[in-house]
Chain A
Amino acid sequence: MDAFITQAGLGHILDKVRAGERLSLDDGRRLYDHPDILALGYLANIVRERQNGNRAYFIYNQHINYSNICTNLCKFCAFGRPKGDALAYEMSLDEIRAKVRERLDEPISEIHIVGGIHPDLPFAYYVDMLRAIREIRPDVHLQAFTCVEIHHLARLAGKPVDETLRLLMDAGLGSMPGGGAEVFNPRIRQLTCPDKLPGEGWLEVARTAHRLGLRTNATMLYGHIETIDERLEHLDALRRCQDETGGFLAFIPLAYHPKNTELGGAGNTTGVNDLKNIAVSRLMLDNFPHIKAYWVMIGPKLAQVALSFGADDMDGTVKEEVITHMAGAETEQAIGHKTLIRLIREAGREPVQRDTLYNVMATF
């Protein structure tokens, strides 16, 4: 099928991909501009299978969004609320304990914790939250707090980021999710989230975490007002950071959902746009071990197809996802792990249940 790639005018990129050579930003632009999604998928699949064989991962996880009260109020977000808003909420430690206890009978291996930039919860709340969950489920991995939250927590603690992270690690922090990266470019941040930690600050927190041995993920929110060049600049910054630290586990392209956001916009991302971002990410981020097709964002159908377009991970069973659903996501809030296994099998891949660090827990 190589002939199709040459016919599509991508022979030069195919040669580089086969040779394991790094793609330039110009190559990335050619890929983004290319109309043939099949050719992009074929190229991305070469890298995907080289790195992850025929495996497709999923995890049994629980999401806890401890509060939606946020001082950043990014314009692409339908989740954050100012304090005092009718829809604002924050969970007490007891409520968090109850959420964890509710699902003690399930084989959950990771609890994924993300919230807003809360104006007045003290640092102790976050430390106590990790400890409280730890007490109830000592065997569960805590993937908590984006780089943006960590930066905020360091200010609350009055300590540098590395010391703050150490305190959180002592309390049970196992790794960090990749949120808050959005698009690093200052123009985009100025227009969509001027109060948020800038891109360079986000990367600096990630670097610090990696130095301390914490693995973290990375994301990119696409499909709003960003340009192709701004996406590529974002991917390039992540690639350079990963060259330095090697601490990123997975990259997760996040599809923008306009409903209920201040930024608004014409509509949800299309299937072609979603697959393109997965494929180009897989090709550009040659030093990232994993690319995730987050089914909550793009739907289980497209996430399944994405397993042939560069993705090797479908995230998890997820319950009570709030952030994307506030923005009008019409996907389910949970899919059973039997369904995930079937989707993966029918995609011709081998289902692998993983833990947070991609250790194999079970194959099917």
Chain B
Amino acid sequence: MEQLCERILAGERIDGEALLRLEREADLHTLGFLANSVRRRLHPEPVVTYVIDRNINYTDICVSACKFCAFFKAPDDPAGSTLSREELLAKIRETQELGGTQVLLQGGLHPDLDLAFYEDMLRAMKATGIHVHGFSPPEIHHFAEISGLSVRAVLERLMAAGLDSIPGGGAEILSNRVRRELAPRKCDADQWIAVMKEAHGLGLRTTATMMFGHVETAAERVEHLQRVRDLQDRTGGFTAFIPWPFQPDYTPLAAARHIDKTTAVTYLRTLALSRIFLDNVANVQASWVTQGPKIAQVSLFFGANDFGSTMIEENVVAAAGVHFRLSEAQIRHLVSDAGFQPRQRLMDYTLV
């Protein structure tokens, strides 16, 4: 164990087996010290970044019906809706008035909307000058299916219409065993990676997420991290990694069987393990939306160097009964109070 720690401190890459060993044997302090040393090697300056943006969910109608989701509406549910152009543009205007630089645009896998709808939506959004961080790989994959085009062709058309970058959502756990169990109608792990590979190849930057703490094993979390690291070795296209725990309330999965909510210690441990393993992903985000301000602040000592977004609007986690809110001023206060300099950034992590 001591040797393993020395290797990490020396900047050596560790394999999945070593990571599993750390997960089993290392205490919270050790993981904190190791993750913090990796973070400081990659970010020697005492800066913590954040972005001012808003999540916009253009529709909650979704054919995927993932068991961990409390947000979606089935296509035959009359409560499902799609944002009008006016609503969408009003949200962007509000974001820009608050100093926002981007929107995170995501929605359900809608059965009837065609690719032209998304292209029109992007063109209208781009007219405002906002950065569109939009469409996670399951959406891109879905667009390819409904249009009959290749993933590459879909990406090219969306880019031509104004897509700037892709969020790393829908990764959940990149293990096909887990996906078959929880989200069989969603793109599988290989397809998720394939979309990201194409996107990186076309020059789009993306993030990657991991939603853990449901039915996955420790080995499957390692499989997830390994896939992200392997692709990053080839493309270098991921700007950040964002791990966050499954929020069980109101989800079909939690209704079907008892799943305990991931505790703060497990969150911090998982965050630290991610930071240690993903030596080639520059940034790791704290998840204040699921953890609240106190643990998010503490996570700056467990590998996180970014506070994520101000999330002027957030709907998906809120649908699972979690309602933390933070203003830009509060984020800046938490970051300074922890001894770091708060800096607003853009999607690609250039400072504003």
Contact = CB atoms under 8 A, between A and B. Distances in A.
Interface of A: 1, 4, 35-38, 41-42, 45, 266-267, 270-275, 298-302, 304-305, 307-308, 342-343, 346-348
Interface string B256-271: 0000100111101000
Contacts, number: 86
B29 A38 contact: yes
B283 interface: no
11 contacts: A35-B339, A38-B29, A41-B29, A270-B337, A272-B298, A301-B291, A302-B264, A305-B295, A305-B298, A308-B265, A348-B27
B175 interface: no
Given A38-B33, A343-B263, A346-B265, A301 B292 contact: yes
Contact of A274 (B36, B263, B294, B338): B294
Listed residue (A37, A275, A299, A305) with the most chain B CB atoms within 10 angstroms of its CB: A305
B337 A273 contact: yes
A299 B265 contact: no
Nearest to B298: A271
Contacts of A301: 263-264, 291-292, 294-295
A308 B33 CA distance: 13
Interface residues of B, number: 29
Given A37-B298, A272-B297, A272-B338, A304 B263 contact: yes
A206 B301 CA distance: 38
A243 B52 CA distance: 53
A346 B29 contact: no
B330 interface: yes
A222 to B, nearest CB: 14
Nearest to A347: B265
B103 to A, nearest CB: 28
Listed residue (B33, B294, B297, B330) with the most chain A CB atoms within 10 angstroms of its CB: B294
B263 A38 contact: no
A15 B49 CA distance: 36
B294 A302 contact: yes
B264 A304 contact: yes
Interface string B48-81: 0000000000000000000000000000000000
B32 interface: yes
A298 B263 CA distance: 15
Nearest to A269: B294
A346 B334 contact: no
B186 to A, nearest CB: 29
B263 A302 contact: no
A342 B266 CA distance: 11
Given A301-B264, A346-B263, 4 more contacts: A266-B333, A271-B297, A305-B268, A343-B263
Contacts of A270: 293-294, 297, 333-334, 337-338
A348 B28 contact: yes
